[in-house]
Structure 1
Amino acid sequence: MRGFLASSIAVATAAALALPLSLATPAQAAASPSAASPVTPAGSTRSLPLVPLGPSADRSPGVPGMSASPRLPETRGLTPHEVKRFSLVGVVWDDARTELFGRVQVRTRSVGTGAWSAWQDLETHNGEHAADPDAAERGSGRVRGSTAPLWVGDSDGVEVRVQAEPAPPGLRASAAHRLPSGMRIELVDPGSTDPVTTVVDAKNGGHGADDPDGATGATGPTGAPGAVDAVDDPEGDDKGDVVTLPGMTMEMAESSSANVPLAPLGATEITALDKADSTADAILASDGELTAASRPYIGPRPRIITRKGWGADETLREKGFVYTNTVKAAFVHHTASGNNYACKDAPAVLRSLYRYHVVSSGWRDIGYNFAVDKCGTVYEGRAGGVAKAVLGAHTMGFNTDSMGIAVIGTYTSTAPPAAAVSAVARLTAWKLGLFNRDPRTKTTLKSGGGNRFAKGTNVKMNVISGHRDGFATECPGRLLYGQLPPTRLSSAKLQGRP
């Protein structure tokens, strides 16, 4: 894939892309060509290797808990470097099966002000957001271990510290004080995009129409450009390969229009619809096998920003689609990428997350099926059709027959905005309704393997669950998780359930 080739080239030329800031004064750095260079329209990803840091380097002020001592656990990092501009960072390593036990901290320099940020922690994921262990995506040989990404805004300087910590009791004690091999910092520039937003004619099944009011260039409530193309076909020939998963058996087939409902090639927005039209969505989702009477409880289809609307580069991901049989549950996540973004920047955040998942982490596409920003705008995630049962890589062990919804931000100690919580209720009322799921009830999913449930275990879960229900993790953050009980009730109410 071109994305991986670009990443490899970036690693090989890291020395040419980064210059120690100690060679330049702050004034010189602020006036440097890299600080003034425009954002690359297509975006970019650059990798810089993390090197051992000795006791003298550990004396850097402002790094909590890192005193100078020859007996310190292994510490790797990057001294202050000037780099080409970027907006999102994350740390990756070679083997996704190797867990990182340690504290990962970064600080960055703002392009706009020239000031350095405080040290910020990156969450260590250790596989929790990933494909299932036996999935073809996981066994591609390209998947890497990775931390959560962090949105830092337009930046041109970076410093990194990673200090090993003991493994939790009973978990791989031999790994204490050691860090994974091949660690590097990923610097992601989302690039810029200016798509023309058109409103899809929902009355025509979402296939082909202009804004009913004759307007073009329409924007969402936050002023951000509209939604993305549900067609996974960068060549525009509508002949992309499709992988279906009956159970976990893979079958190759050629795509047809039935596999890409609700948005024509090039559409940037899927408009909100009423309940009657959402019943028709259920028939599309099942390739015509349902009757309208069999799906009476479906919430109105929400307005969805498509992949083209947020500017996804379709050449990065694998071309085909992967489907499972149905959608039995929705797992709610937070991206753990921080809350320091404006809603108008959400498309850029998504482009960065997409590049981090595909180019840096080695996944076939962005992991989440949908994303929601803090203003309540809904975005299409993994390609394959918003009404379809697309296999994601969001809750390791429980990606089959589920969908993942990520609220952009970190909601461990920050309360999620009401608009975002409401959007999750609206989205689940529609999508779960297509598959005849009551958001208030429980369902049974079979574990594909993880750190909480052994492979093959049948687990009863809420139809709307948090990531932590299927994997031992903090995600979706304590305060967002606490909003799930009322969200289940709101979602069921939107479906019209008594």
Structure 2
Amino acid sequence: MRRLMTGSAATAGMMTLLLLLPVAAESAPPAEPVPTAAQEISLGTVSAPGRDGDVRQGTTEAIPGFEATLVLTGARADTPEFSLVAVTWRLDPAVKDIALRLRVRDDVGTPSEWSHLEIGAVGTAPNPDAMSIGDQRGGSEPLWVGPSFGAELEVMTLSGADPQDVRLILIDPGRSPADAAPLQGQATVANAPPIYSRAQWGADEDIRSWDPVYASTTKAATLHHTADSNDYTAEEVPAVLRGIYYYHAVSLGWGDIGYNAIVDKFGRIWEGRYGGIASSVIGAHAGGFNTYTFGVSMLGNYDVAATPAAMINGVVDVMAWKLGLYGVDSRGQTQLTSSGGGTSRYPAGQVVTLPTIFGHRDVGSTICPGQYGYARLEEIRTRVAGLTWPPLTDISNTAVAAARAASGETTVVVRGADSTLFTRTRAATGIWSPYRALPAGVSTLGVAAFSDGAHLHLAVRGVDGGYWITNAPYNAAGVPVDWRPWVPLGGVFTSAPAIATAGPNLMTILGRGTDGSIFQMNWNGSQYQGWTSLGGVSVSAPAVERATVGLPPSYIVSTVGLDGRIWRIPTGADAPGATAAWSSGGSPSSLGPQSDAAGPTPTTAGTLTIGDSRRSVLLLNPSNGSTIDVGGTATSTVGIVREPDGGVDVYVRGTDGQLWAGGWSPSRGVFSWQPLGGRLF
């Protein structure tokens, strides 16, 4: 039974799953789910053979030094047709060093040569339901053997524990007319290379029992090989993928295929794990290191065969695209924390420094991605860097937002250490409410806010890379309550959003795209319009303000350019798009700007918060370039709220990770920073 979405999986409710959709073509057969069938032959164990098992001394073809070793065997000379084989056993970390030899029979009963099955090292998938009822199993890597009608298996323990409840799995992945002529893979998501979707390889979603779970970002890519046959044809690839999918999802109890993407020897890229290939969905490809990584597997065994050039080209293309979405430098390093278990080389909780493109063997007890695959890693890193370097940096990836109700209460919105959104409201008396978590609200790159007086509006970047918005009315105490469901606005962005209103039923949302440009979408009272590029190349999230009252409704957008200085551009309030060119304000900033004029009724030009070289908070008057230094050391952009006397309150994440409040007023000047607690991301 499909597990209901609870806990961390529930956050997927606010995410657009960026699924690749096949494009119809009259000349190609339609892609459709293909049923997959499997046979299980129970061998038991050496000490207690099952109904189809037997025990003898030595293997059929003697292995020197093991002639007297007890071997668990099983055979069926006549079976229904199958094309992929694998072996599973009761999950046991003590089973580490066993030899698996297998041969199959063709349609006239002729046996094949003996093949060696590699021990699976993909790592246990994080599936609590399967674990709780004992459905997760250890196993070999699957092996594509082509149409076969009989099988014989030999299992020998070289050291360590004997495997228990051994089962030989024979999988028939079915056939589809679309296998021989799949539609061209479509670059339908965020300038992706052509990628064949799950639908195009015939994935049967009815056997998937695991709903997507997402990390807050992607930090690295992991290279694998499937340790499978290298003799497959182009027409057989969809069936091979269906077989691997069934084996991972059902036979091993993982609920889905483990890899995020698979590249065949012809260079074609195939979507793997369900949940959106552009997203940070967590796979099951590297035990202990599935979170924050994008698992790419080369279809075949590249410990015994050289890696084809076309396949490496596909690996480079998909890694460059995916790491580029998340601003990852392929020549750099990152730190990941092991969750242990499976075949991980590192215990749970150990922090490991790794290249941002690494091989499975770097974190697991395995030869994956094979000697020939591993030898290509440095070339892959260099070529990926050539396609994505320099990565898009963001000096404002942590954001604090603030807005003021018409009745005078100020609400601050922050992203917690677990990426959950929290609000805290200051009453007119100066008393602060406790932090309140938003239901099902997770942000991956900060949050933006404005108040229309009666409602607090929020925008975030979800784990799918797109923007999402919600709002809540203020109660009598000026606290936002009864949050509306999150609404997806699509896109793929590399910064936190900016959001503002220019009057009743008008709203704009802006953010930095994957090419560094600022994009805008407007709500004009009846529909959303956009996304529209404003051009430029930004190194921060944008800020947006309404132009002063008395002028036609319009917006002014500010951001930090490649020169480290504030740049501004005017846009329309109805249709999105620039109404003049970018102009430099000349002011350098170490922080992404924020504006105190995002609400509906500014009476003077907006004030921007920026940062000096020490990341001290400055209040900038863009019209004349004058600044007021309110001090502190900011580790986030600065939420800013204008007070009735013309002063401003500012809110920021400090060096200790908690929220701090400061500001300036005409009567008091700069006032002292006060801690407001919490632990911000």
2 CA distance for matches of 1:344 and 1:140?
Answer: 38
Helix, strand or coil at the partner of 1:459: strand
Matched, 1:183 2:76: no
Alignment equivalent of 1:449, drawn from 334, 340, 357: 340
**Residues 1:398 and 2:391 are matched in the alignment:** no
Flag the 1:343–1:270 CA change in 2: closer, same or farther, 3 A: closer
Note if 1:46 corresponds to 2:39: yes
Equivalent residue, structure 2, for 1:170: none
- Structure showing the higher helix proportion among its residues: 1
Residue number in structure 2 paired with 1:271: 186
Q: More strand per residue: 1 or 2?
A: 2
Once residues 319 and 334 of structure 1 are traced to their aligned partners in structure 2, the CA distance between those partners, rounded to angstroms, is 23
What secondary structure is seen at the aligned counterpart in 1 of 2:200? helix
Q: 1:86 aligns with which of 75, 82, 88?
A: 82
Alignment CA distance shift 1:420-1:114 (3 Å): same
Determine the structure 2 residue equivalent to 1:119.
114
Is the contact between residue 59 and residue 66 of structure 1 (CA under 8 Å) also seen in structure 2? no
335-344 vs 370-379, which moves further: 335-344
Q: Return the match for 1:194 from 162, 177, 183.
A: 177
Q: Aligned partners of 1:359, 1:135: CA distance in 2, in Å?
A: 14
Corresponding residue SS for 1:416:
coil
Q: Structure 2 vs 1, CA of residues 387 and 54 (structure 1 numbering), >3 Å: closer, same or farther?
A: closer
Q: Return the match for 2:311 from 420, 436, 440.
A: 420
Q: Output one character per residue of 1:353-403: Cα deviation in whole Å (capped at 9) or x when no partner.
A: 001111211111000010010001000001001111111000000001111
Deviation at residue 157 of structure 1 after TM alignment: 0.9
Distance of 1:141 and 1:347 partners within structure 2: 30
Structure 2 unpaired stretches of 5+: 3-32, 392-681
| 1:59 to partner: Cα distance | 7.1
Q: TM-score, normalising length from structure 1?
A: 0.66
Q: In the alignment, is the contact (CA less than 8 A) between 1:131 and 1:397 conserved in 2?
A: no
Tell me the equivalent position of 1:143.
136
Q: Which letter maps to 1:103?
A: A
1:78/1:65 Cα in 2 relative to 1: closer, same or farther (>3 Å)?
A: farther
Question: Deviation at 1:73?
Answer: 3.5
Q: CA deviation at 1:482?
A: 0.5
Secondary structure, counterpart of 1:307 in structure 2: coil
Question: How far did residue 473 of structure 1 move?
Answer: 1.1
Give the secondary structure class of the aligned counterpart of 1:311.
Answer: coil
> Does the residue aligned with 2:205 lie in a helix, a strand or coil?
coil
Structure 1 residue ranges (4+ consecutive) displaced by more than 4 angstroms after TM superposition: 57-61, 65-68, 134-140
1:315 to 203, 206, 223: 206
- Cα distance in 2, alignment partners of residues 66 and 81 from structure 1: 29
Going from structure 1 to structure 2, the CA distance change for 1:146 and 1:60 (only over 3 Å counts) comes to closer
Deviation at 1:497, TM superposition (A): 3.5
Q: Is the 8 A contact 2:259 2:297 kept in 1?
A: yes
Query: Of 157, 182, 195, which residue of structure 1 is paired with 2:150?
Result: 157
Which structure 2 residues correspond to residues 298-309 of structure 1 after superposition, within 5 A?
300-309=191-200
State the SS of the aligned residue for 1:439: coil
User: In the aligned structure 1, how far is the partner of 2:244 from the partner of 2:141?
Assistant: 10
1:225 is aligned to: 182
The TM-score, its normalising length taken from structure 2, stands at 0.49
Deviation at 1:137, TM superposition (A): 6.2
Matches of 1:302 and 1:384, distance apart in 2: 18
The answer to whether residue 369 in structure 2 is matched with residue 476 in structure 1 is yes
SS, match of residue 192 in structure 1: coil
2:80 partner amino acid:
K
Aligned length: 352
Q: Which whole-Å deviations, capped at 9, do the CAs of 1:132-174 have from their partners, x for residues lacking one? A: 5x9666556311111111111100010111112123xxxxxxx
Deviation larger for 358-367 or 59-68 = 59-68
Computing the radius of gyration from Cα coordinates, the structure with the larger value is 2
Give me the CA root mean square deviation: 2.5
Matches of 1:124 and 1:421, distance apart in 2: 24
Per-residue CA distance 1:37-94 (angstroms, 9 max, x = gap): xxx9622011001154767x557743545977xxx44421213421111011111112
- Equivalents in 1 of 2:61, 2:369: separation in Å? 29
Distance 1:131 1:353, change over 3 A: same
Cα distance between partner residues in 2 of 1:386 and 1:271: 13
Q: Alpha-carbon deviation of 1:484?
A: 0.8
Partner of 2:14: none
Contact 2:210/2:254, CA 8 A, preserved across alignment:
no
CA contact (8 A) 1:63 1:119 kept: no
Residue by residue, what CA displacement relative to the aligned partner does 1:6-48 show, whole Å, maximum 9, x if unpaired?
Answer: xxxxxxxxxxxxxxxxxxxxxxxxxxxxxxxxxx962201100
Q: Are residues 476 and 147 of structure 1, via their aligned partners in 2, closer, same or farther at CA, if it must alter by over 3 Å? A: same
**Distance in 1 between the 2:154 and 2:278 partners?**
43
* Percent identical residues: 38
Deviates more, 1:313-322 or 1:409-418: 313-322
CA distance in 1, matches of 2:168, 2:237: 22
Distance 1:109 1:441, change over 3 A: same
Distance verdict in 2 for CA 1:492–1:50, change over 3 Å: same
Aligned to 2:550: none
Distance 1:311 1:410, change over 3 A: same
